[in-house]
Amino acid sequence: MIEQHTATAENGNGQAAQPVILELIRYDRTRYNKFDQVAVDEMLALLEHDQVNWINLDGIHEHTAIMEKLTTHFCLHSLMVEDIMQDQRPKTEEYDDYLFVTLKMLHRISGTEIDYEQISLVLGKNYLLTFQEKEGDLFDPFRERIRLDQGRVRKRKADYLLYRLIDIIVDSYYDVLDNIGEQIEEIEDTIRDGSTNNNFARIQIIRKQLIFLRKALYPLRDVISKLVKDESGFIHEDNIRYLSDVYDHVIHLIDSLDTYKDLTAGLTDVHINTQNNRMNEVMRVLTIISTIFIPLTFIVGVYGMNFDNMPELHWSDGYYSVWGIMIFIAVTMMVFFKYKKWF
């Protein structure tokens, strides 16, 4: 089962803090400002054309009024807004004044469920808009790096910010795939110790997770490829090499995904073979027991007939003689089966 991500925040006293719905981070080489918990109109008035403006909106479905004002201010195309509001496969599209990218952001595997949400990014000349379905994301450490002026981000434009966010999202796929790899190893060890029906159900869950990742990763490869080949001018040439590195990561993730898919198929075969071997062992034991009792049943059946003219019925030692014959036959057959290595 796949579920979407929900997060809550706490203040320094351990009490639930107000969730950040709309956030503006504005920076350049020497200046940094962060604005949240302010009205959207006030926030739009704080935009600076000579700085990078990163606006993040959480809960697009719950805050449609804010979404409408952002759409009007940045003149977002109606078809693009429809893609932001609805569940879409990862893709990128070029418009006259901005570049649109949407993809799946994975958080983790919680039990058997992949925790994810769709995130949409709109890159303009001096701004980047990010639209998320729920509160909380993977970017808090990166926000702190921006504040502390660590790395290159404060020295670059908005297209570099787009690259860094995509890179963080792609890196999250490694954690999810590593978790799936651990599950596969655990199931393999369990099957080796003694397969159970529960293992088959777990294998089917992993297969569903891999199918979901396949639907997210293969289109993501095309998204990054299109950004690398961008000719619209939104991506600076110096940042193409960084996106090429992200593309290599996506290719590696796809290779790992295909490997896990093959391993999962192999686990299914091993599980079925193990079950068949156990069934064969049971059938072999039952067959040997049945074979031993066939002649014994025949003897008992013969002497169970009620004919008067059966001389053995009047033997004083007949009962013990029949028992001896049956024990001899059973022991002889067991020795023969052991000699043939049938058990």
Average pLDDT by consecutive 10-residue portion of the chain (343 residues)?
37 47 92 90 92 93 90 93 91 92 83 81 94 85 92 92 95 89 84 70 86 91 90 85 94 93 82 77 85 88 78 79 88 86 76
* Widest CA span in the chain: 120
Give the model's pLDDT for residue 30. 92
What pLDDT was estimated at residue 70?
A: 94
Contact 139, 164 (CB under 8 A): no
**Contact yes or no for 184/109 (Cβ under 8 A):** no
Listing DSSP states for 104-118 in one string gives: EEEEEEETTEEEEEE
User: Any idea which residue has 């909380």 for tokens?
Assistant: 136
Per-residue DSSP letter, 16: B
C-alpha to C-alpha distances, 225 to 198, 213, 269, nearest whole angstrom: 41, 18, 36
Contact of 59 with 132, CB cutoff 8 Å: yes
User: Is residue 108 a contact partner of residue 171, using CB atoms and an 8 Å limit?
Assistant: no
User: What pLDDT sits at residue 4?
Assistant: 37
Contact between residue 79 and residue 86 where contact means Cβ atoms under 8 Å apart:
no
The alpha carbon dihedral of 81, 84, 89, 94 has a sign of positive
In the chain the domains, ranked by start, together with CATH numbers, are: 2-273 (3.30.460.20), 281-339 (1.20.58)
How far is Cα 327 from Cα 343, in angstroms, rounded to an integer? 19
Q: Say which amino acid occupies 148.
A: L
- Distance between CA atoms of residues 152 and 119, nearest Å: 23
Three-state secondary structure call for residue 4: strand
Q: Give the pLDDT confidence score for residue 11 in this predicted structure.
A: 40
pLDDT on residue 5:
35
SS3 assignment, position 89? coil
Coil, strand or helix at 11: coil
| Alpha-helical runs (H) found in 195-304 | 197-228, 237-302
